[in-house]
Amino acid sequence: MAECCVCQAQYGYIVVQMLMSHLDENSRKEAQIKASIIDVLSVTVLIAAGGSIGLFSVFSSVLC
């Protein structure tokens, strides 16, 4: 079970990082596109924060 949590934590920050990169790549697109990416990002962060990694850990990993 612990291995599962480690795997989820690993993918949690990777997914957030990918979504933030996707948002950056689409920074000049229409507001609706950016809003949709942000919606998915916010749900992903909430899921990651509810798991074995905290919200701070998600953003800390992405920003480093």
Q: Are 45 and 60 contacting, i.e. CB atoms less than 8 angstroms apart? A: no
The answer to whether 16 and 44 have CB atoms below 8 angstroms apart is: yes
Residue 2: what pLDDT?
44
> Does 39 have pLDDT greater than 50?
yes
Calculate the average pLDDT of the chain: 75
**Stretch 31-60: mean pLDDT:** 76
Is the pLDDT at 30 greater than 60? The verdict is yes
pLDDT exceeds cutoff 70 at 46? yes
Distance CA 12, CA 48 (A): 5
User: pLDDT value at position 55?
Assistant: 58
pLDDT at 23 over 60: yes
